[in-house]
Amino acid sequence: TGMKTWAPLGLAALGSPATLAFFRHAELKHCRVAMAAFVGWLVAVSGVHFPGLCSFSEGVSFEDISKLTPLEQWAAVPALGKAQILLAIGIIEHNSEWKIKPHYMAAGGKPGDLKGLKSFWDPAGLTSKMSAAKLERQRLSELKNGRAAMIGIISVLIAHNVPGSIPLPINFPAGPSLILPFQ
């Protein structure tokens, strides 16, 4: 559907442009998280890890954690590490919701545009060099890829956690062998 409103039940007509902007912004956030999660899952199952210790006080190394499944890896991260991750997410959320003016729900605001975090999302300044038409195509591409990533990561999680949810007669490998063609 791209940047057009798709509402087969007519629910979009019930809301204001600000409400639709809120929904689009939420969709873009979920798309970005899903894209990061999907890539993160692939990195986790491939065994790629940082050198050194994840926690000096607990003696947990990144290599030890990389030998676990992705969900076990999250459980193995020390509490302070999880707190740092959640704090970083909170800072990004705070900056995207309360510091950017005009707000994406106000007139002139654009869903998904994180002006206050531009150097975070586009450190090379590539979007400033694009024409308006190309930037719009890139945004549409981000939205479509994000929707695919949402389906992809939920599919991977279901396949990992619900035995028999994948109707394949073979034991499909979900490990480093999946990534080997791309290395």
User: Does residue 67 lie within any of the structural domains?
Assistant: yes
Name the amino acid, one letter, at 57: S
pLDDT at position 133: 92
Helices (H) and strands (E) counted in the chain, each on its own, are 7, 2
Q: What's the CA gap between 51 and 141, in Å, rounded?
A: 34
pLDDT at 83: 95
Taking only the tens place, the pLDDT of each residue in 133-158 is 998 888 889 889 999 999 999 988 88
CATH of the domain at 51: 1.10.3460
What's the confidence (pLDDT) of residue 4? 64
Please indicate, yes or no, if residue 5 is contained in any of the structural domains.
no
Per-residue pLDDT tens over the stretch 93-148:
887 777 766 666 666 667 777 666 665 667 777 878 889 899 888 888 988 999 99
Q: Domain for residue 53, yes or no? A: yes
C-alpha count within 13 angstroms, C-beta hemisphere, residue 7: 12
Percent of residues in the chain assigned helix, strand, coil, to nearest 5: 60, 5, 35
Residue 38 lies in a domain: yes
Instruction: Answer yes or no: is 142 a known binding residue.
Output: yes
More confident residue, 176 or 152: 152
94 among the known binding-site residues?
no
Q: Give the range of the structural domain holding residue 70, as residue numbers without chain letter.
A: 16-161+175-182
DSSP 183: -
> Is 32 within any annotated ligand binding site?
yes
Q: Is 137 annotated as a binding residue?
A: no
Q: What's the one-letter identity of residue 37? A: A
For residue 63, tell me if it sits in a domain: yes
Residue 171: pLDDT over 90: no
Query: Is the residue at 59 inside a domain?
Result: yes
By percentage, how much of the chain surpasses pLDDT 70? 75
- Decide: pTM greater than 0.85: no
pLDDT at 43 over 80: yes
CA–CA separation, 76 and 144 (whole Å): 33
95 marked as part of a ligand binding site: no
When divided into structural domains, the chain yields a total of: 1
- Encode pLDDT of 64-85 as tens digits: 888 888 888 888 888 998 999 9
The β-bridge relationship of strands 53-55 and 60-61 is antiparallel
> How confident is the model over 14-30, as a mean pLDDT?
82
6 has binding-site annotation: yes
Provide the pLDDT for residue 66: 87
